[in-house]
Amino acid sequence: MLVRAGELGAALAAYDHVLAHNPLDYGCRMKIADLLARLGDGAGAAAVYRALALHNLRAGHPAPAILCCKELERLGQPTDDLVAELASTYAQGAPALAKFAARQAPVEETARLPRPDLTGTEPVASVAPRARARALDFSVYTGYPQHHLPLAFLSELPASVFAPVMRALKVQRLADGDLVIREGEPGVAFYLVAGGQVRVFATDSLGRQTERARLHEAALFGEMSLLTAQPRTASVQVLGEADIIEVGRDALAALAAEIPTLGAALDRFARERLLKNLLATSPLFRPFNRQQQMDLIRRFDGHEVDAGTEIIREGGPGLGLFVVLAGEVEVTKASQPGSAGGAPAAEVSLARLRAGEVFGEMSLINNQPTSASVRAARRSTILFLARDYFQRLIQALPEIRRYFEELTTRRGMESQLVLGAAEQAPDEGGHERDERILI
């Protein structure tokens, strides 16, 4: 509130007061650095940003450490040493990375503080040195953990490409209510939360919002629509304030063209994120524990198919089960020929299936020829499980069999409704093909 009102000196005094009574609040140190920069003390701000970057990366908070590096770059300060330490600590294969690691407990937000003097009577010239000195005093921290949790995306990159990727990152310092992602827009970047909180929500046709999640420091979001080239399926909005690290698609593509190892790392990251999302959301994998899921996914073959590729032909034998990993496919069926004039049969579009959805199961469950054709609507990645293994799977697991039987029944009914609507559509003369008189 003080910052928005332009009372920067009073705001600096307030953060100094908070830090004096809660020296573990490293976010408060970031605010002091921000205010020093805005008040014209670039050297003091740079000193705090640098000290805070070192503290955060050593304390297991790489995302806010990256934020400090980007602020140093904005001030024209070198960061090569900090980026090198980030790479040696958090890049792929770094010895300090572990699946489990201790982290500093969050600051107690409900802790009571003595009321500060915010009258603004103390001159900034006396507040600034005191706040800067307090923000640079890390003596309250007696040691750093030996192991750290990996940071999504960046910890999957080899150390050799860490620096160029770091240079390509952008930072957004956002206020309450700001939208990072808007539902329906194309994905041009994905994001990491460096500090603060955001909420993920979807909006239905009536304008009602359904909150899906709240994300905090180090959370990654927005990567699925970027990887699958689909519109955003939800919006992401800032709660309070948030610092966001932006990883742009075009910037990464330009780097990957220059650095082959980065291109390979990005491909691996994309595939692993897609698989992780599939395992987390598809009912096919729900009955299994993590190890069983991984054993099952290895049974699938992956195929890249171009737009227009016929994956299943109507009337052919059922070859196996297909899962859309990325992209989109269209399911079509030949309608019955028109009665007047013997018009040829036309294809009716039954559905479009996207990432995580399965197809090909109806012929396997019913032991009949395929009832529809499936073509790639655009370039897609398809997983395929052979018929024999699918049959063994549903015989061994009644829950999986029930899932596919229910899916087959539902899809059969939906197809009949779509085909019925197509047959009732007016002919070229504007007449209903099957005229009925209701009395």
Give me the DSSP letters along 62-75: HHHHHHHHHHHHHT
The kind and range of the H/E element at 76 are none
CA distance 373 to 320: 14
* Residue 387 tokens, joined: 């018929």
The mean per-residue pLDDT over the stretch 123-136 comes to: 93
Entry pTM: 0.76
For residue 101, name the pLDDT band (cuts at 50, 70, 90): confident
Range list for CATH 2.60.120.10 in the chain: 168-273, 290-423
User: Are 82 and 55 within 8 A, CB to CB?
Assistant: no
State residue 439's pLDDT score: 28
* Residue 424 tokens, joined: 């009732």
State residue 183's pLDDT score: 93
Angle between helices 124-135 and 26-38 (to 10 degrees): 140
Instruction: Count H helices and E strands in the chain, helices first.
Output: 14, 14
| Terminal Cα distance for the chain, rounded | 70
Residue 104 pLDDT > 50: yes
Secondary structure of 171-212 in the HEC alphabet? EEEECCCCEEECCCCECCEEEEEEEEEEEEEEECCCCCEEEE
Contacts of 238 (CB under 8 A, 6+ apart): 174, 175, 176, 177, 178, 179, 180, 196, 197, 198
Work out the number of other CB atoms within 10 angstroms of the CB of residue 143. Answer: 7
Work out the number of other CB atoms within 10 angstroms of the CB of residue 139. Answer: 6
State residue 425's pLDDT score: 54
The mean predicted confidence, pLDDT, of the chain is: 86
* Residue 211 tokens, joined: 């909150």
User: Are 297 and 275 within 8 A, CB to CB?
Assistant: yes
Percent of the chain with pLDDT over 90: 50
State residue 189's pLDDT score: 92
CATH number of the domain located at residue range(s) 168-273 in this protein: 2.60.120.10
Q: Which residue has the tokens 């573990």?
A: 24
CA distance 404 to 410: 10
Which of these ranges, 106-115, 247-256, 358-367, 383-392, has the smallest mean pLDDT?
A: 106-115
Q: Quote the strand ranges of 365-437, DSSP E.
A: 373-376, 380-386
Residue 358 pLDDT > 70: yes
Q: Which amino acid is at 79?
A: T
Residue 393 pLDDT > 70: yes
CATH classification (class only), 290-423:
mainly beta
Tens of pLDDT, residue by residue over 411-428, are 888 877 777 665 555 554
User: Are 425 and 335 within 8 A, CB to CB?
Assistant: no
State residue 108's pLDDT score: 54
The mean per-residue pLDDT over the stretch 11-19 comes to: 91
Secondary structure of 211-278 in the HEC alphabet? EEEEECCCCEECHHHHHHCCECCCEEEEEEEEEEEEEEHHHHHHHHHHCHHHHHHHHHHHHHHHHHHH
Q: How far is CA 109 from CA 27, 106, 173, 229, in A?
A: 12, 8, 21, 39
Residue 271 pLDDT > 70: yes
Contacts of 34 (CB under 8 A, 6+ apart): 45, 71
The dihedral formed by the CA atoms of 12, 15, 19 and 22, expressed in degrees to the nearest 10: 170
Nearest one of 226, 174, 164 to 355, comparing CA atoms: 226
Residue 429 pLDDT > 60: no
Which of these ranges, 1-5, 160-164, 323-327, has the smallest mean pLDDT?
A: 1-5
Task: Specify which of 30-39, 101-110, 290-299, 380-389 reaches the highest per-range mean pLDDT.
Answer: 30-39
State residue 433's pLDDT score: 42
Which of these ranges, 43-47, 67-71, 153-157, 226-230, has the smallest mean pLDDT?
A: 226-230
State residue 346's pLDDT score: 77
CA distance 156 to 90: 9
HSE of 261 in the Cβ direction (CA atoms, 13 Å)? 10
